A and B are shown apart, each in its own frame.
Chain A
Amino acid sequence: MQQFLESFLPAGPLVVFVFSIIPLMIILVYALFAIWLERKVAGHMQDRLGPMRTGWHGWAQTIADLLKMIQKEDIVPAKADRFLFKLAPFIAFAASYGAFVAIPLSSGYIGSMIDVGVFYIVAITSLLSVSIIMAGWASNNKWSLLGAMRTAAQTVSYEVPTVVTILSVIIVTGTLNLMEVTEMQTGNAFLGFLPSWLIFHSPFMVIAFGLFFIATLAEAHRVPFDLPESESELVGGYQTEYSGMRWGLFMLTEYADMLLLSLVGVTLFFGGWNSPFGSFMEGPLWGAFWMLLKGMILVFVMMWLRWTLPRLRVDQLMNLCWKYLIPLSFVNLVLIALWEMIF
């Protein structure tokens, strides 16, 4: 990719800039699409139409909302900690944008070939909880604070099963570099027709994916784990005092996080940019297509769950994590390790 850019751009900062802005473009376009999709999914699940007025089936609704948000007054509560209050949304977005660097979007594009890719992603997404605590604390609002405290507990707890399930994948792959993980999954090895994705590697990988998906739902603060911003209890959680574009950035972060965690899931379990049909429809551009398509399918499942399920209570959330997910993921880790030893 970098060589391709250098073929028509002068080498140096400009190439790096264009190179690094690609994920941002993808996130922005995806967010426009995903927010629209969320509304349409919600609408159709609830026997209504969703946005219909702005363009064909309301495709421009998100753009209209964006324009509205940009025009809004930038309100900072009088007794808020102004600096932290203004900083928090940017850190939140930087955390999820920064994580895209280690995701191989196609065989021809990865932001940086770091050898500890997964580790880096896990580490940098933890910044999100810092920014949420920042937002909750700086707002000087009790509801925000409650939301932020819940987030701290939730994110710290659910990182454990996430990391343990990722670890069980790493046992199989033997590398933390996501590009290498994806390359390992090329071809149709299993039973002749199944793609050699890691999810088909052993039955325990299916369990690992289930655990991973539940944990990422909690990491991305989606229903049934959307306690930090549970609007029917905490008004808006840590977002209560935010309005206009700062709130919009939190929204963007939420959707970017959904995509990020879905893409990590896709890379670890569903072959990343590999085509499901062997060598059919392969290549760097098709790779990006498959990657994003698979990611969007997982994002759609998240939306589907959101409009179906109620919300857990904070203590039940902790119970689920510490009593079920973490022991299960450790048992699964041992079983996968045994499977690797035997076969």
Chain B
Amino acid sequence: MTDVKEKGPEVTLTLPADTGNGLKTQEMIINMGPQHPSTHGVLRMELTLNGEIVTKAIPHIGYLHRCFEKHSEAMNDYAKVIPYVDRMDYVAAMNNELGYAIAMERLMDIRVNDRVEYIRVIMAELQRVASHLLAIGTFGLDIGAFTPFLYCFIEREKILDIFEKASGARLLYNYIWIGGLMNDVPADFKSDTAAFVKSFRPKIKELNDLLSMNRIFIDRTANIGVLPEKVAINYGVSGPSLRGSGVKWDLRRDDPYSIYDRFEFDVIVGKGEMGTLGDCWDRYIVRVWEMEESLKIIEQALDSMPDDGDVQEAIPKKIRPPAGEIYCRTETPRGELGYYIISDKSTSPYRIKARAPSFVNLSVLPAISIGAMVADMVAIIGSIDIVLGEVDR
């Protein structure tokens, strides 16, 4: 089923074949998207179908291309790039900002104080929970379960409320700045976050009862879209999609950035409980339990977060980093987000490139979807959890 070596095939239809009873059959090419309810945005899949069985699947991207790199290079201000990175993975904007801020701080050799680090980690982990909630909810929606989607959204709203109190925005925050934060968190940030963590724990169990352990849901997702460990590594898949295949790889643990080395948490990997290792259900359940781990990190961070500290380091208004280049990678909810920045001592990057996890993860889609049915395609796309804003940038 999984042929790794296969190149992007040119679409040629088989000739009409005689079935022996006077009727003829032929493969059918069908466009899934860009206007399709379950392609998570504007992904276009060119499917070659034999009946309902997919024989070839070619993703076409670029419908949401917004020239992130070129824009950033012409922005004439490093700080003004942050709203752009927000808009790459728009459901996990905090993580994108964090990655960019860390890359810039490493390039400029700035160290931020502990309070900033703790707030950043809490924000990033809250965002991870919010993003996973969205991924889980829409995955259920793809399978046909409408209600869990809204249950997930209720919880996500609570996280967005916390973000709104801190940054004023609910989706694209522009909150984590180079050398600090936009502003300090409000006074009740700690209690709000602690209350959310407390109220959210039981909801994970509820979600598992409602969706994860639902027989129909398991039937629809187990043994579907199996991504073997080797294939995942060969394609450079990262994040929950990689861990769903049983690879214990999480940058927060394996290449710690910020202050992640101070926290105790497990790296969740798929175990193939319901079917084969690396199937859609494994990728899904990894996200569910990762929310639990994120809660652990948030709790530890809340306990040891210092109460004082300036959230803005003294950095010049116009940032002119020393000439040089940096590649810095962080773990976003979708995987390994890397920023490659070349500075030529001017006020805007000479070159900036984002290694977007969604883009790389999407590349594995043709390899794992051959032999699936149209309904499985929806499950596979949902389980890889791509955000088209990040795929196209």
Contact = CB atoms under 8 A, between A and B. Distances in A.
Interface of A: 42, 45-48, 142-143, 146, 223-224, 226-227, 230-235, 307-316
16 contacts: A48-B150, A224-B144, A224-B216, A226-B144, A227-B375, A233-B374, A233-B375, A235-B36, A309-B216, A310-B143, A310-B144, A310-B216, A310-B217, A313-B219, A313-B373, A313-B375
A311 to B, nearest CB: 3
B25 interface: no
B147 A308 contact: yes
A48 B36 CA distance: 26
Nearest to B218: A310
Contacts of A45: 147
B28 A142 contact: yes
B378 interface: yes
A232 B141 contact: yes
Given A47-B151, A310-B220, A235 B373 contact: no
A48 B149 CA distance: 13
B349 to A, nearest CB: 40
A233 B216 contact: no
Interface of B: 28, 30, 36-38, 52, 140-147, 150-151, 154, 210-211, 214, 216-217, 219-220, 373-378
A45 B148 CA distance: 10
Indicate the member of B38, B220, B375 with the most A CB atoms within 10 Å: B375
Nearest to B33: A235
Given A232-B378, A312-B220, 12 more contacts: A46-B146, A146-B52, A146-B374, A230-B144, A232-B143, A234-B374, A308-B147, A310-B217, A311-B220, A313-B219, A314-B373, A315-B373
Contacts of A232: 37-38, 141-144, 378
Contact of B145 (A309, A313, A314): A309
A231 B216 contact: no
B240 to A, nearest CB: 20
Contacts of B28: 142
Contacts of B147: 42, 45-46, 307-308
Contacts of B142: 232
A47 B143 CA distance: 21
A224 B214 CA distance: 12
A116 B9 CA distance: 58
Given A146-B52, A224-B144, A234-B374, A312 B38 contact: no
Nearest to B51: A149
Nearest to B211: A310
Nearest to B219: A316
Contacts, number: 78
A157 to B, nearest CB: 15
A307 B220 contact: no
A226 B378 CA distance: 16
A43 to B, nearest CB: 9
A308 B377 CA distance: 22
B214 A310 contact: yes
Contact of A313 (B30, B141, B154, B376): B376
A311 B373 contact: no
Contacts of A313: 219-220, 373, 375-376
Contact of A312 (B140, B154, B219): B219
Nearest to A227: B375
B154 A307 contact: no
B374 to A, nearest CB: 6
A143 B52 CA distance: 11
A307 B140 CA distance: 12
What 8 pairs across the A-B complex have the smallest Cβ distances?
A: A311-B144, A310-B145, A46-B150, A310-B143, A232-B38, A310-B144, A313-B375, A142-B30
A227 B216 CA distance: 14
Contacts of A223: 144
A55 to B, nearest CB: 24
Contacts of B378: 232-233
Q: Which of A46, A48, A231, A233 has the most CB of B within 10 A?
A: A233
Contact of A314 (B36, B141, B216, B375): B375
A309 B375 contact: no
B65 to A, nearest CB: 24
A250 B21 CA distance: 34
B123 to A, nearest CB: 26
A146 B144 CA distance: 17
Contacts of A226: 144
B150 A235 contact: no
A311 B216 CA distance: 7
Contacts of B217: 310
Contacts of B376: 313
A223 B28 CA distance: 28
Contacts of B210: 308
Contacts of A312: 216, 219-220
B235 to A, nearest CB: 25
B100 to A, nearest CB: 34
B368 to A, nearest CB: 17
Contacts of A146: 30, 52, 374
A10 B53 CA distance: 62
Contacts of B30: 142-143, 146
B42 to A, nearest CB: 14
Residue among A46, A142, A313, A315 with max Cβ neighbours from chain B (10 Å): A313
A46 B150 CA distance: 6
Query: Which one of A47, A146, A235, A309 has the highest number of Cβ atoms from chain B below 10 Å of its Cβ?
Result: A309
Contacts of B220: 310-313, 316
Contacts of A314: 52, 373, 375
Nearest to A312: B216
B372 to A, nearest CB: 10
A309 B218 CA distance: 12
A28 B30 CA distance: 37
B144 A235 contact: no
A243 B219 CA distance: 34
A220 to B, nearest CB: 16
B263 to A, nearest CB: 32
B373 A307 contact: no
Contact of B375 (A42, A143, A230): A230
B63 to A, nearest CB: 17
A300 to B, nearest CB: 16
B83 to A, nearest CB: 32
